[in-house]
Amino acid sequence: MDSNHGWPEPIIRVQSLSESGTETIPTRYIKPPSDRPSIEASSYTLSIPVIDLSAMSKEEMASVVSAACREWGFFQVVNHGVRPELVRHGQEIWRGFFHLPMEEKQRYANSPTTYEGYGSRLGVEKGASLDWGDYYFLHVLPSCLKNHEKWPALPPDLRDITDEYSRELLNLCGRVMEAMSIGLGLDPTRLQESFGGTEVGACLRVNYYPKCPQPELTLGLSSHSDPGGMTVLLVDNHVRGLQVRKGSDWVTVEPIRDAFILNVGDQIQVLSNAIYKSVEHRVMVNAANERLSMAFFYNPKADLPLSPIRELITPDRPALYKPMSFNEYRLYIRQRGPRGKLQVESLKTSQ
Ligand code: OGA
Ligand code: NI
């Protein structure tokens, strides 16, 4: 392998830039004015729905989840049944990883063929605009892709805690998939079956956004919709950053302690024939604090061609998308990096 691990140019860790104490960010990180974060516009009073999962019947859950998926593509869940101690332990252990010496982290430097490991960019275009964040990406499912050797060996409990965290989140995703399915007027298991039943995929991306001396000029993660099925996101309890598109506005998400943020990905938009929306979102960074988030991606079986579920195709609403497998689909983002919703739009049939 070449010295750049397959990337088009040497990889610079954003954390190293941040820790160098520079007061100006390199031009590669400066976004065009139209893409820069608007802090004032986000003091807006709108917010994504918050759903309390305790003491809710399946039907009630289906109805509120479905409304949120149609209108926002995003919602937060509280009292979700995942132990708060586990959630906090997961966050702290991953923060511990990013605080290890650089040599230790570099052992896991990733390459654009699988993206597994420690990374600092998405996309392989030479000279492309870069985002102010490092990340760690790993596979949880299917088990043939899961490899503990590719997960950090330090901090010592990281692998076990990440396993336990993943099991809990898979369970939660199963419940939400049922609610989403019922909310489409389908059998509770229908959406899961269209995902490939038990042969689903799951990956974790832990995002680490270091302090940034000029946060008004850049983004931690450029606008994108998530390419997979759905995402369960755990954000920093104290540091805001996530913004969700609502029409022409960006709504800043207020973190709720121990809650999860759930969002519809492109594959559920396709399967639901766009009844549920995968919505653009992006991440702001700031000068005072680093920020850590954990994005758990719940994905369909990767080689299954996906198109709108038959029952959701009607004369009034013909199939909006042509079939494509998730494997083919994700190549796009892996080569070009985050590009708003261009990708799912490009799947549209031309009727
Ligand atoms: C992502 C993502 C948001 C965040 O990883 O896809 O949108 O708050 N993360 O880090
Ligand atoms: Ni995302």
Residue 132 contacts residue 210 (beta carbons within 8 Å): yes
Closest ligand by atom to 205 CA:
1
Give the number of C-alpha atoms closer than 13 A to the C-alpha of residue 75, restricted to the C-beta side. Answer: 22
How far apart are the CA of 295 and the centre of ligand 1, in A? Answer: 6
Residue in 207, 237, 278 to alter for ligand 1 test, most ligand atoms within 8 A of Cβ? 207
* Phi and psi at residue 34, to the nearest 5°: -70, -20
Residue in 242, 251, 333 to alter for ligand 1 test, most ligand atoms within 8 A of Cβ? 242
H helices of 113-251, where? 158-183, 190-194
Closest atom of ligand 1 to 220 CA is: 10
Binding pocket residue ranges, ligand 1, CB within 6 Å = 205, 207, 221, 226, 233, 235, 241-242, 281, 283, 293, 295
How far apart are the CA of 239 and the centre of ligand 1, in A? Answer: 13
Question: In the prediction, which pLDDT does 40 show?
Answer: 58
pTM for the full predicted model: 0.96
Question: In the prediction, which pLDDT does 338 show?
Answer: 77
H helices of the chain, where? 14-19, 58-71, 84-98, 102-106, 158-183, 190-194, 266-271, 326-336, 342-345
How far apart are the CA of 83 and the centre of ligand 2, in A? Answer: 24
> CA distances (Å), 45 to each of 56, 292, 306, 339, in order?
27, 24, 37, 27
How far apart are the CA of 342 and the centre of ligand 2, in A? Answer: 14
Question: In the prediction, which pLDDT does 2 show?
Answer: 66
Alpha-carbon span 204 to 116, nearest angstrom: 10
Alpha-carbon span 137 to 117, nearest angstrom: 5
The per-residue DSSP string of 242-260 comes to EEEEETTEEEEPPP-TT-E
Residue in 293, 297, 330 to alter for ligand 1 test, most ligand atoms within 8 A of Cβ? 293
Taken in order 90, 93, 99, 105, the sign of the CA dihedral is negative
The label of the residue with tokens 């160098």 reads: 20
Please identify every residue whose CB atom is under 5 Å from ligand 2, which is an ion: 226
Please measure the distance between the N-terminal and C-terminal CA atoms of the chain and give it in whole angstroms. Answer: 45
Please list the pLDDT of the chain residue by residue as tens digits (351 residues): 567 999 999 999 999 999 999 999 999 999 999 999 976 555 567 899 999 999 899 999 999 999 999 999 999 999 999 999 999 999 999 999 999 999 999 999 999 999 999 999 999 999 999 999 999 999 999 999 999 999 999 999 999 999 999 999 999 999 999 999 999 999 999 999 999 999 999 999 999 999 999 999 999 999 999 999 999 999 999 999 999 999 988 999 999 999 999 999 999 999 999 999 999 999 999 999 999 999 999 999 999 999 999 999 999 999 999 999 999 998 877 887 777 787 788 778 765
> CA distances (Å), 24 to each of 163, 288, 347, in order?
39, 15, 40
Closest atom of ligand 1 to 297 CA is: 6
Which residues touch 39 (CB under 8 Å, ≥6 apart)?
216, 284
Q: Which amino acid is at 185?
A: G
Alpha-carbon span 2 to 7, nearest angstrom: 9
How far apart are the CA of 187 and the centre of ligand 1, in A? Answer: 31
Q: Put the strands of the sheet holding 221-224 in their side by side order.
A: 221-224, 281-283, 242-246, 249-252
